Amino acid sequence: MGIFLSMKKAIDLLPAVEIETGGSPTHTIVWLHGLGADGNDFVPIINELMLPPDASIRFVFPHAPERAVTINNGYVMRAWYDIYRADFNDPEDQSGIRDSQEALDALIEREMQRGIPSGHIFLAGFSQGGAMALQTGLRQNNPLGGIIALSCYLPLAETLAVEACVANATTPVFMAHGIYDPVIPLSHAAASRDKLLAANYPLEWHEYPMAHSVCEAEIADISRWLRHIIG
């Protein structure tokens, strides 16, 4: 069937681009953009994933709120949370992270109200968006289908042990990172990976010879991973 495109905005819900690959969707993938981009940034990935033609999936690409970003001289842009400095040892914007988590929780709830079982809902994201996919997915009260975290890290890592929800203790996680990433060092992402593996999350890890970006081989691996879970 054809692809249907619409813009959605409702009270207390993030505005988003929505694309359905068929009628009566059975799954939803909420895909989160990186710092300074918007929901349109990852729309092309729908065709690139080459998922089964008979799969009816609703892709939701929300736009992060606009806020001043300290690391970018206070310039106002779409961001899931503020970043104070490039040094990841600095304090994190806990209020911004948790506000975005709440907004994403609302999107997940909306999808459930539309008839999508929580186990058929996936959170995916790149960079800041990937960090929010981990932040939200691992703390979600409803069991999700999976989490895709690309070129990112685990935010508020020190609070995960007490905030993680048992409902997503066995939720599959796909993490991938560029070996030459100058924005989020591979070592920082690997430390997040190790923390999740130590907590026994079923995590699949990939490294690619790229910078802070997405590559063809990575998309192929995501496609395989999604096909395996969706069935």
Helix (H) or strand (E) holding 28: strand 27-32
Catalytic residue, candidates 38, 41, 93, 181: 181
The answer to whether residues 79 and 132 touch, using CB atoms and an 8 Å cutoff, is no
The answer to whether residues 124 and 108 touch, using CB atoms and an 8 Å cutoff, is no
Known catalytic membership, residue 82: no
Q: 131 in the Ramachandran plot: left (φ > 0), alpha (ψ -120 to 50) or beta? A: alpha
Known catalytic membership, residue 127: yes
Catalytic residue, candidates 212, 213, 221, 223: 212
Q: How far is CA 192 from CA 5, 90, 147, 184, 225, in A?
A: 35, 16, 14, 12, 20
The answer to whether residues 57 and 87 touch, using CB atoms and an 8 Å cutoff, is no
Q: Which residues pair with 146 in a beta bridge?
A: 122
Catalytic residue, candidates 27, 38, 100, 127: 127
Identify residue 71 by its one-letter amino acid code. Answer: I
Q: The tokens of 48 are what? A: 């690139």
Q: How far is CA 113 from CA 118, 143, 148, 211, in A?
A: 10, 15, 23, 39
Helix (H) or strand (E) holding 177: strand 173-178
Backbone φ and ψ of 23, nearest 5°? -75, 155
Known catalytic membership, residue 181: yes
Which positions are annotated as active-site residues? 127, 181, 212
